[in-house]
């Protein structure tokens, strides 16, 4: 917030006693060293984060913080009432989805809280739970989007989504390793770079009101690649570094 971010991106899980918490992982081993799922514990039983956590998209770099408690989504909404937030739901947990939808309505955040999920089945439930919230593309919808683009049909097809939250292909095999096989990572990097990194595609989407945001970029060279493609914004683990880049290069470009 101190670096004037325009968007917060987070994932949510549900505790046993029905509290929506901000947590990327369902299992707490990586972040807390406790081999239990968030859903198996009450909110008050959740363990503290480790004193030191490796930054996933910057291998070999570590984050430290004084407050190691897990945060409720409600706490985020209360503290930052007008800050746009992207909320990702990873699994088909209808109770979690409806709790999030209810919190968004309660805090009058329908227009500034984004539904996000890689799974189309989850996105369908999210849309049903609160259709007033803007949508981001699921994985299947991205594949459909690319197919329509390369067939030349995209200009004639409605796009209900308002956000494309996508990994930047050039980070694969450098800071992002989606597969355990190095060869498969290299192939994925080549194919996705050819498919996604098209200025004309990004320009078309933005002309139709879709904001294109690349994740998760932690190096200045990657900021440059994203913004040279015409990206609306960038997600980063290092907002200070991104703010410095924007102030020095592209002061008007958004940060998240």
Tally of structural domains, the chain: 2
Q: Is residue 252 within 8 Å of 13, Cβ to Cβ?
A: no
Q: Does one domain contain both 230 and 107?
A: no
Q: Does one domain contain both 98 and 183?
A: no
Q: Does one domain contain both 124 and 152?
A: no
Q: Does one domain contain both 104 and 163?
A: no
Q: Does one domain contain both 103 and 46?
A: yes
Closest CA to 165 of 1, 2, 22, 11: 11
14-50: pLDDT as tens digits: 999 999 999 999 999 999 999 999 999 999 999 999 9
Boundary of a domain, candidates 120, 136, 152:
136
Which percentage of the chain shows pLDDT scores above 70? 97
Boundary of a domain, candidates 102, 136, 170:
136
Q: Does one domain contain both 57 and 42?
A: yes
Task: At 59, list the tokens.
Answer: 């291998």
Q: Residue 32 burial by CB count (10 A; 0-12/13-18/19+): exposed, middle or buried?
A: buried
Question: Rounded distance, CA 227 to CA 234, Å?
Answer: 8
Q: Does one domain contain both 170 and 93?
A: no
Closest CA to 11 of 76, 65, 57, 66: 76
Strands 8-14 and 20-22 turn out to be antiparallel
* Average pLDDT score over residue span 183-204: 94
CATH number where 5 lies: 3.20.20.190
Question: Rounded distance, CA 209 to CA 201, Å?
Answer: 13
The answer on pLDDT for 253 being more than 60 is no
Q: Does one domain contain both 109 and 212?
A: no
Q: Does one domain contain both 223 and 239?
A: yes
Boundary of a domain, candidates 74, 103, 136:
136
Task: At 78, list the tokens.
Answer: 């209360």
* Average pLDDT score over residue span 140-159: 98
On whether the pTM is more than 0.85, the answer is yes
Write down the residue that tokens 């690319």 correspond to. Answer: 146
Q: Does one domain contain both 116 and 161?
A: no
Residue 228's pLDDT is what?
A: 96
The answer on pLDDT for 154 being more than 90 is yes
Q: Does one domain contain both 43 and 94?
A: yes
The whole domain housing 23 covers: 1-136
* Residue 153 neighbours by CB distance under 10 Å: 10
Task: At 29, list the tokens.
Answer: 């081993």
Q: Does one domain contain both 81 and 116?
A: yes
Residue 251's pLDDT is what?
A: 52
């Amino acid at each position: 917030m101190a670096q004037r971010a325009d968007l917060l991106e987070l994932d949510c899980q549900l505790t046993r006693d029905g509290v929506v918490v901000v947590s990327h992982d369902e299992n707490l081993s990586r972040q807390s060293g406790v081999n239990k799922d968030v859903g198996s514990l009450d909110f008050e039983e959740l363990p503290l984060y480790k004193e030191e956590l490796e930054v996933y998209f910057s291998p070999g770099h570590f984050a430290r913080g004084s407050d190691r408690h897990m945060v409720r989504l409600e706490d985020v909404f209360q503290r930052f009432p007008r800050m746009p937030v992207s909320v990702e739901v990873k699994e088909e947990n209808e109770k979690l989805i409806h709790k999030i939808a209810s919190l968004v309505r309660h805090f009058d955040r329908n227009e500034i809280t984004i539904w996000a999920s890689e799974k189309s089945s989850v996105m369908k439930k999210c849309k049903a739970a609160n259709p007033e919230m803007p949508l981001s593309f699921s994985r299947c919808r991205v594949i459909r989007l690319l197919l329509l683009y390369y067939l030349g049909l995209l200009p004639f097809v409605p796009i209900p989504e308002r956000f494309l939250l996508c990994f930047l292909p050039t980070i694969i095999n450098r800071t992002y390793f989606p597969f355990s096989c190095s060869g498969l990572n290299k192939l994925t990097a080549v194919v996705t770079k050819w498919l996604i990194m098209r200025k004309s595609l990004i320009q078309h989407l933005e002309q139709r009101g879709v904001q294109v945001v690349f994740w998760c970029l932690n190096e200045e060279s990657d900021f440059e690649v994203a913004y040279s493609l015409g990206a609306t914004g960038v997600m980063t683990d290092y907002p200070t570094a991104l703010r410095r880049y924007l102030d020095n290069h592209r002061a008007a470009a958004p940060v998240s």
